[in-house]
Each structure stands twice: as structure tokens, then as C-alpha cells.
């Protein structure tokens, strides 16, 4: 296959669905977690779940870095933006995530703070060059996919001799989160969440490769299939997981061979290892404090560490009691289990990060109307609801 359209062919999807229906054991249930929000959106945009047998269930995982960033860390970024002569640069989704006391970076900008949306670290570097009399802070966030570009920015700032550029680092690690989910009482003891296997993230895996997932297959006896983000990718990955479970296997398989190798991007890994080191612990929204799951800037690059340059302290913040984002991120609940979903909490008025993020589960449910309580149409709100491979629409 050469073109994206080939990975969205409804005839091939129907054939894969028929093959899957013949594979499943009607006497058992299959619960598969898609860790990445990109998969969640592909599933709902193209109606993949409507092609699955009734005993194959998809569990939504952490989704994306925007979703799992704790409110306390966001509050630190908002405080940075309030420091005189600071320009805070951030990716777009983070501007709208609600912090404590109904604050957000977007509201900070409306109040006159210099908060700028950027599409890359390179833009933040350029802003620092153009504003030598200001302190430019890049609000770095992301899984392993976006960590190498941040490392490049820090190295570039050093090469350019920039004295007014620093990074507020919030990069986190996917394997640590998967282990936290498998070790959680919800999965291991209480049984609130059943996870028989994982649909592994593709973009993350282009960097780290498939090798880090071997541990979960061997130690926890959970199969992992790394999948691309197109609907046929997801369907094929689900079929591969079902086959493994039927055969009593727990292995790492790579459906996304066009982008992922076993070793991953070794050059990117080396650059990240040069600039960053593991934190002993890092808080995740929904998962709590996860050991060795976050990255911080090494001492030799401390001049570019905003947490060293500014007096920042993370304070404990209580979540909005009405918001179920924490439980949704753990796979304990679905967005439709939240009482404020779709009424109080909407993309126009987000209460939780799962509704703000373009990869959040709540945003996927809302945007693609995969819930029965709302009878709105794309024409009514001007949104793109995607093309279903089920209806061929």
C-alpha cells in the first residue's frame, strides 16, 4: 500500500471484520486497551467499534500528554506566565486546559500576559532570538514522540549562546504508564478494569521501537500489537491480538512495520539521553505518582531548566469533583459515565483535559457523536465528524 486512502478502504475493512468474527471465541470476552488517543479518535471517526464482534471490547487508556498532565503542573506554567518580562510559549491544546481556580493559559493571555501558541520548539527559539530583553520559556509536554525536538531546542540554544531561553519540562514515558496501569488495584486486585492486551502507540514507537514492550509481554503476560492510526491498521491489530489470546501467547507484534522497527530511532534516543535524565517520580493525572515516569533536564544543561531558573513549586490541587477525567484516563469509566459530559462540559466550555485535548476520549465521543444523548449534526455546529468505513459516508 502506498496511499492513505488504501488504509481506509471499506471493502477491506469489511473483509477484516469478517475474518475477525470468525476468529473470536464466542465463549470468552476480549478487553483491549488502546493507550494512545490517536487510536481512540480513529476508532470513533471511522466507526471501527461498529465492526467488532460484541464480545470484543475496547478500553480507553491515558490518551495523550495533555490529558495526563496534573493540574498542579499546569498551575506552575500559569505562574510562569505571570512573571514580569516572561514570554511563555506553549502548544495550542495546553492553552485551554483548565487549571485551579478556573484559571488557564488562555485566560492569562486575555489578562495581558505574554502567552504565545507555537507549533514547534524552533518557534520558541526564534522568539527568544527576537526578544533578547525577555525571558522565553517553552512549556514542553509530550510522550517520547516530542521529547527529541525539545532536546534539539536545548542543544540549539546552547550553540547559539541564548541566555534568555529555558524549558519547563513535562515529558513523560509511555512504558512507565503502561506498567502503572497493570499494577493498579483497578486491574490487578479490584477487577474494575479488564485489560487482556494492548494496542501499542505508533508515533511513540517510531522513537523507542518495539523492544520496550517485551517486558509487558513477558512479565505480565499481556500481548502488545503496535498499530498505525488508520482504521485498517487498528482492525488488523485487533485481529492480531485476538489470535494471540486464542493461542495463549503473549508477545510483542508490530503491525505498523512501515514506521516502527525493533530498535527504534537510535539517534533520537541518544540525543534524549544526552539532555535528559529520569525523575524519581512524576505525577500523572488519573494515575497518581508514577515512579521513574518523567524526564528532567540534566545538570550540565541546568541553565536551560525553567525549574532551576524560576522559584517554582508544585502545589497539591484537588480535581473538580464533577469531572471524571481521572477515572476515564485509567479506563475505569467511559466519557458517557460522566454526569457533566456533553452538557456542562463541551469543547466550547471544557471542564476537564479529556475534552480539551484533540486526542482526548471525551473529545472523541463528543466530536463523532458516539453517544446517544445528543442528536446534533455536523451542520449544526460546523464540525467534521469524519467518514465512517461502516456506512461509507
Maximum Cα–Cα distance across the chain = 68
Contacting residues for 228 by C-beta, under 8 A, at least 6 apart: 7, 202, 234, 255, 256, 258, 259
Question: Between helices 10-23 and 231-246, what is the axis angle to 10°?
Answer: 10
Share of the chain above pLDDT 90, in %: 75
Burial of 67 per CB tally in 10 Å (0-12, 13-18, 19+):
buried
Identify whether the C-beta of residue 253 lies closer than 8 Å to the C-beta of residue 226.
yes
Distance CA 360, CA 372 (A): 19
pLDDT in tens, 62-95: 888 889 999 999 999 999 999 999 999 999 889 9
Rg (CA), the chain: 21
Q: Would the pLDDT of 371 be above 50?
A: no
Domains annotated on the chain, with CATH: 4-64+174-254 (3.40.50.11750), 67-173+292-309 (3.40.50.11740), 325-367 (no CATH)
**Distance between alpha carbon 57 and the CA centroid of its chain, in Å?**
20
Q: Tell me: the pLDDT tens digits for 104-126? A: 999 999 999 999 999 999 999 99
Query: Per-residue pLDDT averaged across 271-289, rounded?
Result: 94
Q: Which residues contact 212 (CB under 8 A, 6 or more apart)?
A: 174, 175
pLDDT, tens digit, for every residue of 8-33?
Answer: 899 999 999 999 999 999 999 999 99
Amino acid at each position: 500500500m502506498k496511499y492513505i486512502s488504501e488504509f481506509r478502504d471499506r471493502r477491506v475493512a469489511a473483509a477484516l471484520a469478517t475474518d475477525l468474527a470468525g476468529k473470536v471465541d464466542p465463549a470468552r470476552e476480549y478487553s483491549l486497551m488502546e493507550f494512545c488517543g490517536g487510536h481512540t479518535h480513529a476508532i470513533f471517526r471511522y466507526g471501527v467499534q461498529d465492526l467488532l464482534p460484541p464480545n470484543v471490547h475496547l478500553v480507553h487508556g491515558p490518551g495523550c500528554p495533555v490529558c495526563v498532565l496534573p493540574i498542579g503542573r499546569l498551575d506552575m506554567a500559569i505562574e510562569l506566565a505571570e512573571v514580569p518580562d516572561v514570554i511563555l510559549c506553549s502548544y495550542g491544546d495546553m492553552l485551554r486546559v483548565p487549571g485551579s481556580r478556573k484559571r488557564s493559559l488562555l485566560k492569562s493571555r486575555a489578562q495581558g500576559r505574554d502567552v504565545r501558541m507555537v507549533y514547534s520548539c524552533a518557534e520558541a527559539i526564534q522568539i527568544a532570538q527576537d526578544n533578547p530583553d525577555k525571558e522565553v520559556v517553552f512549556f514542553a509536554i509530550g510522550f517520547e514522540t516530542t521529547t527529541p525536538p525539545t532536546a534539539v531546542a536545548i542543544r540549539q540554544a546552547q550553540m547559539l549562546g541564548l541566555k534568555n531561553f529555558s524549558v519547563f519540562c513535562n515529558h513523560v514515558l509511555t512504558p512507565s504508564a503502561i506498567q502503572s496501569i497493570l499494577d493498579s488495584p483497578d486491574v490487578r486486585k479490584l477487577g474494575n478494569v479488564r485489560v487482556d492486551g494492548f494496542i501499542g502507540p505508533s508515533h511513540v514507537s517510531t522513537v523507542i521501537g518495539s523492544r520496550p514492550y517485551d517486558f509487558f509481554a513477558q512479565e505480565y503476560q499481556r500481548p502488545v500489537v503496535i498499530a498505525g492510526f488508520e482504521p485498517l491498521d487498528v482492525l488488523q491489530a485487533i485481529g492480531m491480538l485476538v489470535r494471540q489470546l486464542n493461542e495463549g501467547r503473549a508477545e510483542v507484534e508490530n503491525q505498523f512495520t512501515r514506521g516502527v522497527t525493533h530498535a527504534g530511532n537510535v539517534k533520537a534516543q541518544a540525543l534524549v539521553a544526552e539532555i535528559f535524565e529520569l525523575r524519581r517520580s512524576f505525577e500523572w493525572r488519573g494515575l497518581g505518582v508514577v515512579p521513574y515516569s518523567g524526564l528532567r533536564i540534566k545538570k550540565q544543561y541546568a541553565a536551560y531548566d525553567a525549574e532551576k531558573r524560576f522559584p517554582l513549586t508544585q502545589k497539591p490541587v484537588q480535581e473538580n469533583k464533577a469531572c471524571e477525567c481521572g477515572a476515564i484516563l485509567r479506563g475505569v469509566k467511559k466519557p458517557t459515565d460522566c454526569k457533566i459530559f456533553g452538557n456542562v462540559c463541551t469543547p466550547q466550555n471544557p471542564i476537564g483535559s479529556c475534552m480539551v485535548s484533540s486526542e482526548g476520549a471525551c473529545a472523541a465521543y463528543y466530536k463523532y457523536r458516539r453517544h446517544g444523548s445528543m442528536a446534533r449534526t455536523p451542520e449544526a455546529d460546523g464540525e467534521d465528524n469524519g467518514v465512517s468505513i461502516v456506512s461509507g459516508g
